[in-house]
């Protein structure tokens, strides 16, 4: 899929629109009608729902208000494929998305073509700046759902006792774990948040000043091998390492390892989008919750970075080396081995920070229904930074704020340690 993904800077909006829409279809293409129908837990959405919902976004926020004589594809789809926008009317319950067999994948493909065709007409007219920003938002929105589509189908397939693969594994490069090096960063006042050039979500604004104590950040993420050492040291069995809510969750859920790990006769296995296989100790650990990341850091005598620390540390580096790393365009679909020396700050695994997801000082959500995009979720979640192997490369940046509840494990999330300098 690398051909579909290039940097956005010099691309026309319409060609980026087309590329994004094509990539979604390509990501869905290995999946059968049955695969695309299942919802394996309330957080997961069926593949065909993602395909329809991303189309509904363009239809609802652009075509209906701004393209004269546009006809909605189906009168019920506004109800079926609204995710959470209270401002645009009632919606089908999220937990029941797996109960809706119709429209099936053929009709949803028709829906996508119907929307695409109208969007071409819309884009050909040269949209006003505000509408163009909504097109950009729709593209970015669909990119988020590309990662969700892959996260979600991984969970779906993992519930099948036959552990089927989404796609064959790419050839695995060799890795070596080595020891961690720490990079020191100065304290004092720093600026964080989006500078204003290029696209940013509202939650990245406004850029503002923070005051930091001096700190150090590890040069690479925690690996599966280190996680196995944590497990061998009874990490999941020692209350003193855990936040109280985390400890209760460990007990309630019976956690003994990251999600998708199973204890086989020949050691720990991990389910991936390529099916079942042995845990590779040189890979960054993934599919751990905030609770687990926090407990691991305590066990390791370190801590998680704040999101400000992460951004300050990463911006400098990103300016030097650019956004690189194992993102969706590598086709790996899984973290790749730590190779020693500095790891890129982007890709492989989202990195939990110790920052609760809160509005930046002076934050104000966008006007209208798209104002519901981010702000209303700023409670009971923690910020993750850096993108993962499932993130489109033109979707990530140093100021990007992802967020999940502290118990969530189905994201490709790991951690990078910090400590006081």
Nearest-approach distance from CB 320 to its own copies, in angstroms: 26
At 301, list the tokens.
């005598």
Backbone region of residue 318 per phi and psi (left: phi > 0; alpha: psi in -120 to 50; beta: other values): alpha
At 310, list the tokens.
């992460």
Nearest-approach distance from CB 59 to its own copies, in angstroms: 17
346 or 410, CB closer to its own copies? 410
172 or 243, CB closer to its own copies? 243
Backbone region of residue 346 per phi and psi (left: phi > 0; alpha: psi in -120 to 50; beta: other values): beta
13 or 80, CB closer to its own copies? 80
Nearest-approach distance from CB 338 to its own copies, in angstroms: 28
Nearest CA to 58 among 77, 33, 41? 77
Q: What is the CA radius of gyration of the chain?
A: 21
- Site residues (vs its own copies, CB under 8 A): 32-38, 40, 48, 76, 79-80, 84, 86-87, 92, 96, 98-102, 104-105, 156-157, 159-162, 164, 189, 208-213, 239-240, 242-247, 290-291, 294, 354-356, 358-359, 361-362, 372, 376-380, 406, 420
15 or 160, CB closer to its own copies? 160
80 or 274, CB closer to its own copies? 80
Nearest-approach distance from CB 86 to its own copies, in angstroms: 4
157 or 288, CB closer to its own copies? 157
At 279, list the tokens.
């845990």
What's the farthest any 2 CA atoms get from each other in the chain?
66
Decide: 31 and 153 in contact? Cβ < 8 Å. yes
203 or 355, CB closer to its own copies? 355
Nearest-approach distance from CB 38 to its own copies, in angstroms: 5
CA neighbours closer than 13 Å in the CB half-sphere of residue 143: 27
Nearest-approach distance from CB 371 to its own copies, in angstroms: 8
22 or 208, CB closer to its own copies? 208
Backbone region of residue 347 per phi and psi (left: phi > 0; alpha: psi in -120 to 50; beta: other values): left
Residue with tokens 């590890």: 218
CA neighbours closer than 13 Å in the CB half-sphere of residue 230: 26
132 or 378, CB closer to its own copies? 378
Nearest-approach distance from CB 63 to its own copies, in angstroms: 21
Nearest-approach distance from CB 188 to its own copies, in angstroms: 9
Which residues, in sequence order, are CB contacts of 263 under 8 Å at separation 6+? 256, 257, 269
Nearest-approach distance from CB 243 to its own copies, in angstroms: 5
């Amino acid at each position: 899929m690398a051909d579909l993904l290039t940097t956005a800077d010099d691309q026309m909006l319409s060609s980026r629109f087309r590329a994004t829409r094509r990539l979604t279809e390509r990501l869905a293409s290995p999946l059968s009608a049955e695969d695309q129908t299942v919802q394996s837990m309330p957080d997961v959405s069926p593949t065909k729902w993602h395909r329809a919902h991303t189309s509904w976004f363009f239809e609802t926020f652009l075509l209906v208000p701004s393209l004269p004589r546009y006809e909605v594809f189906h009168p019920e789809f506004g109800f079926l494929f609204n995710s959470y926008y209270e401002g645009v009317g009632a919606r089908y319950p999220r937990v029941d998305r797996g109960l809706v067999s119709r429209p099936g994948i053929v009709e949803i493909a028709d829906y996508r073509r119907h929307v695409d065709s109208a969007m071409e007409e819309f884009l050909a007219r040269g949209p006003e700046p505000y509408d163009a920003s909504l097109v950009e938002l729709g593209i970015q929105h669909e990119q988020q759902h590309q990662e969700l589509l892959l996260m979600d189908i991984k969970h779906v397939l993992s519930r099948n006792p036959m552990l089927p693969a989404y796609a064959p594994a790419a050839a695995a490069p060799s890795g070596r774990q080595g020891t961690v090096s720490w990079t020191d960063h100065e304290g004092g006042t720093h600026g964080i948040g989006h500078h204003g050039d290029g696209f940013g979500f509202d939650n990245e604004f406004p850029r503002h000043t923070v005051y930091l104590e001096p700190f150090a950040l590890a040069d690479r993420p925690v690996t599966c091998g280190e996680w196995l050492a944590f497990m061998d040291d009874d990490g999941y069995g020692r209350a003193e390492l855990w936040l109280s809510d985390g400890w209760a969750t460990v007990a309630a859920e019976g956690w003994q390892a990251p999600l998708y790990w199973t204890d086989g006769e020949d050691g720990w296995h991990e389910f991936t989008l390529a099916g079942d296989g042995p845990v590779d100790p040189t890979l960054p650990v993934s599919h751990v919750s905030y609770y687990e990341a926090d407990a691991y850091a305590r066990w390791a005598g370190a801590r998680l970075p704040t999101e400000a620390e992460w951004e300050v540390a990463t911006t400098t580096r990103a300016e030097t080396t650019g956004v690189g790393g194992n993102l969706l365009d590598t086709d790996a679909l899984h973290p790749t081995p730590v190779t020693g020396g500095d790891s890129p700050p982007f890709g492989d695994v989202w990195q939990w920070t110790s920052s609760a997801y809160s509005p930046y000082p002076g934050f104000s959500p966008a006007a209208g229904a798209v104002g519901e995009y981010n702000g209303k979720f700023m409670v009971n979640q923690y910020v993750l930074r850096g993108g993962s192997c499932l993130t489109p490369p033109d979707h990530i940046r140093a100021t990007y704020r992802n967020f999940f509840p502290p118990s969530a494990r189905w994201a490709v999330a790991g951690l990078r340690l910090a400590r006081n300098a």
